[in-house]
Amino acid sequence: MYGVWTVGQVRAAEDEALARTPAGALMRRAAFGVAVAAAEVLRERTGGVRGRRVVLLVGSGNNGGDALWAGHFLRRRGVAVTAVLLAPDRAHVEGLAALRRSGGRVGIADRADLVIDGIVGLSARGPLRAEAADWVSRLAAPVLAVDLPSGVDPDTGDAPGAAVDAAVTVTFGARKPVHVLSARSGDVRVVDLGLDLPDPNLRVLEAADVGRAWRLPGPADDKYTQGVTGVAAGSATYPGAAVLTTGAAVRATSGMVRYAGWAADEVRSRWPEVVATGSVADAGRVQAWVAGPGLGTGQVSRDVLGAVLGAGVPTCVDADGITLLARYPELWDRRDPDQVVVLTPHDREFARLAEPLGISLGVDRVAAARALASRLGVLVLLKGNATVIAEPDGRTLVSPAASSWLATAGSGDVLTGLVGAALAAGGDPLLAVGCASWVHVRAGVLAAGGAPTSASVVVDAIPGAVREAVVAAGR
């Protein structure tokens, strides 16, 4: 698990560190880290460092100062460095002098093996100004971003205009929200500045965390004791949603999975290990329900959702289930106040539910997810390229995107089944949902393997993803 801190938190810690270090020391340490990473990228991509060409895009603040100092360190390793000053009269004075001393050029660059983006860092506000935006839109070489990709908001990951798409970002002291919320950050490396940081604002699970938390069967277990997942999904029109949601739960644990709904025949024929019935009332005892994918929004679907919410176990509500909750708020009355409810909306479903409550999904997805979680007293998993998982008390996990292959039909149904299985296994619900999301992301990568995939293949990749996590945890 690693933490993510807001710009405000990092700034406060930096101020304290600046006060106890000699002037310029932190910047040189940061810039040295940039130069080390740049040399690595050059070696990986071109087979060497000496004689390679690096262009620095230098803005008017300390981010530009970092880039100039990094250029100075790269010059010492025989790299040809050219600095493009976007605001020549406001460029960082000591950085520019250091670059010039070591033989770096200032001017207009043509060809580059690597571009170092020092346009703007933590003080970035709004879309890039015209000249910077123009440079960014013409970039052809791979980019190493200093602190963060310019054009992306540090605290929300939003890119309101032209923005750098970095291969690598070298950040300082701590990861900020942009690094986990925006895929434009690329591969993120952190240079330690010895900052004294408070509790993080967000957390990100890693393979070993998931492997430690994932429920594995022990010698005393049987099919009932590992947590039974109940699935109320699918309809005559959408039997596939039932098959995918149930399949994800089947693949995620060796505990039992029960299905209740219209697609019992389809589910049974694809997953013979599932105990399938027509209604929630007949389904038997489960430790968690998931409801919603392909369920429909008619009266019977409404009754199904009510029955699931009243079943006295943790519940995950997705898709049509969310639409029903938005349309018939009285369904909340069926809820057992002692049991967690997890909502897994995409943006439109989020808006359906949140807008009547005066909560809008703006560019700050973390704030929006937290607001809805707190207002409804539920755990919200907001789907997106990066997934945000917020608890009513504000604790928040982020699953950064590892690829975009999961943007495929039925992918959300797979996630719902995974969440159900993780909830049924017990433990801290936030951790359970975070683990389910991690496995989903990882299964997506394994399923795709660099080429288009589909939700059924993601289902089949779930055991491989769980295995990676378990191995990482040394179990």
Q: Could you list the residues that contact K ion (CB under 5 A)?
A: 117, 145-146, 150
Does residue 175 have a known ligand-binding role? Answer: no
Q: How far is the CB of 239 from ligand NAX (least distance, A)?
A: 50
Nearer to ligand NAX, 161 or 377 (CB): 161
Does residue 176 have a known ligand-binding role? Answer: no
Does residue 387 have a known ligand-binding role? Answer: yes
Bridge partners of 260, per DSSP, are 277
Does residue 123 have a known ligand-binding role? Answer: yes
Asked if 318 and 312 count as a contact pair (C-beta separation under 8 A), the reply is: no
Does residue 294 have a known ligand-binding role? Answer: yes
Interior angle at CA 114, CA 109 and CA 120, nearest 5: 80
Task: For residues 63 and 73, give the distance between their C-alpha atoms in angstroms, rounded to a whole number.
Answer: 16
In terms of Cα–Cα distance, which of 406, 366, 8, 420 is closest to 180? Answer: 366
Nearer to ligand NAX, 169 or 411 (CB): 169
Residue nearest to ligand NAX (CB): 121
Nearer to K ion, 170 or 419 (CB): 170
Burial 153-165 (b: 16+ CB within 10 A, else e): bbbbbbbeebbbb
Nearer to ligand NAX, 119 or 431 (CB): 119
Strand order in the sheet with 114-118: 105-106, 80-85, 53-58, 114-118, 143-146, 168-172, 187-191
Q: Give the number of other Cβ atoms within 10 Å of residue 457's Cβ.
A: 18
Nearer to ligand NAX, 39 or 146 (CB): 146
Give the torsion through C-alpha atoms of 331, 310, 367, 344, to 10 deg: -90
128 touches, from ligand NAX, K ion, none (C-beta below 5 to 8 Å by class):
ligand NAX
Does residue 450 have a known ligand-binding role? Answer: no
123 touches, from ligand NAX, K ion, none (C-beta below 5 to 8 Å by class):
ligand NAX
The CA R_g of the chain, rounded to the nearest whole Å, is: 25
Nearer to ligand NAX, 174 or 309 (CB): 174
Q: How far is the CB of 129 from ligand NAX (least distance, A)?
A: 4
117 touches, from ligand NAX, K ion, none (C-beta below 5 to 8 Å by class):
K ion
Does residue 126 have a known ligand-binding role? Answer: yes
Does residue 346 have a known ligand-binding role? Answer: yes
Task: For residues 459 and 245, give the distance between their C-alpha atoms in angstroms, rounded to a whole number.
Answer: 9
The total number of residues written for the chain in this structure? 475
Enumerate binding residues for ligand NAX (CB under 6 A): 14, 18, 26-27, 30, 59-64, 66, 120-129, 132, 146-147, 172
214 touches, from K ion, ligand NAX, none (C-beta below 5 to 8 Å by class):
none
Nearer to K ion, 145 or 431 (CB): 145
129 touches, from K ion, ligand NAX, none (C-beta below 5 to 8 Å by class):
ligand NAX
Q: How far is the CB of 171 from K ion (least distance, A)?
A: 10
Does residue 464 have a known ligand-binding role? Answer: no
Place of tokens 């990092």: 10
Q: How far is the CB of 200 from K ion (least distance, A)?
A: 22
Does residue 147 have a known ligand-binding role? Answer: yes
124 touches, from ligand NAX, K ion, none (C-beta below 5 to 8 Å by class):
ligand NAX
* Strands annotated E in 312-408: 315-317, 341-343, 379-382, 387-390, 396-399
125 touches, from ligand NAX, K ion, none (C-beta below 5 to 8 Å by class):
ligand NAX
Does residue 265 have a known ligand-binding role? Answer: no
Label each residue of 94-113 as H, E or C: HHHHHHHHCCCEECCCCCCC
Nearer to K ion, 146 or 264 (CB): 146
Asked if 105 and 78 count as a contact pair (C-beta separation under 8 A), the reply is: no
Asked if 280 and 453 count as a contact pair (C-beta separation under 8 A), the reply is: no
211 touches, from ligand NAX, K ion, none (C-beta below 5 to 8 Å by class):
none
Asked if 119 and 86 count as a contact pair (C-beta separation under 8 A), the reply is: yes
Q: How far is the CB of 72 from ligand NAX (least distance, A)?
A: 13
Enter the tokens of residue 353: 């539910």
Q: Which residues contribute to the annotated binding site for AMP?
A: 383-387, 412
Q: Which residues contribute to the annotated binding site for K(+)?
A: 63, 117, 150
Q: Which residues contribute to the annotated binding site?
A: 62-66, 117, 121-127, 147, 150, 241, 294, 346, 383-387, 412-413
